[in-house]
């Protein structure tokens, strides 16, 4: 009986954490830095500031809309993939598709030269 109670206790703790907003700043920084690594300074169509705003928007929304489990699962899927394959994985995720579309339309589209 004691083992069952301990198992239930840890299951509740784990399940609670997996469905809450992500609060770990390292997750935000990792997402933001990965996004910024795609910035190409020689591409004059978008300024660095607008790209930073786009990456910040995406990181903020991932923190608000994803659970830690969802982020870890997506991370597994994109691990050691090419940029093109990574983009395909991200776009297949409905939440990520909505986030990137919103942030692109808000911070990039209007400023593309």
pLDDT by residue (tens digit) across 78-98? 888 888 888 888 889 999 999
pLDDT the model gives residue 39 = 93
- Other C-beta atoms closer than 10 Å to the C-beta of 110 total 9
Is residue 4 scored above 50 in pLDDT? no
Is residue 58 scored above 90 in pLDDT? yes
Whole-angstrom distance, CA of residue 29 vs CA of residue 104: 19
The residue that leads in pLDDT, 106 or 3, is 106
- DSSP type of residue 93: S
- Other C-beta atoms closer than 10 Å to the C-beta of 96 total 19
- Other C-beta atoms closer than 10 Å to the C-beta of 99 total 21
Helix (H) or strand (E) holding 3: helix 2-18
Confirm if 35 and 54 have CB atoms less than 8 A apart: yes
pLDDT band (50, 70, 90) for residue 19: low
Is residue 29 scored above 80 in pLDDT? yes
pLDDT band (50, 70, 90) for residue 20: low
Q: What is this structure's pTM?
A: 0.76
């Amino acid at each position: 009986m004691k083992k069952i109670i301990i198992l239930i206790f840890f299951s509740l703790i784990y399940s609670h954490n997996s469905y809450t907003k992500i609060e770990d700043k390292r997750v935000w920084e990792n997402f933001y830095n990965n996004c910024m690594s795609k910035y190409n300074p020689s591409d004059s169509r978008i300024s660095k500031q607008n790209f930073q705003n786009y990456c910040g928007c995406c990181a903020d929304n991932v923190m608000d809309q994803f659970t830690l489990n969802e982020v870890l699962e997506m991370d597994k899927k994109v691990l050691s993939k090419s940029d093109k394959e990574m983009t395909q994985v991200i776009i297949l995720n409905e939440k990520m598709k909505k986030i990137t579309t919103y942030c692109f339309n808000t911070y990039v589209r209007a400023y593309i030269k």
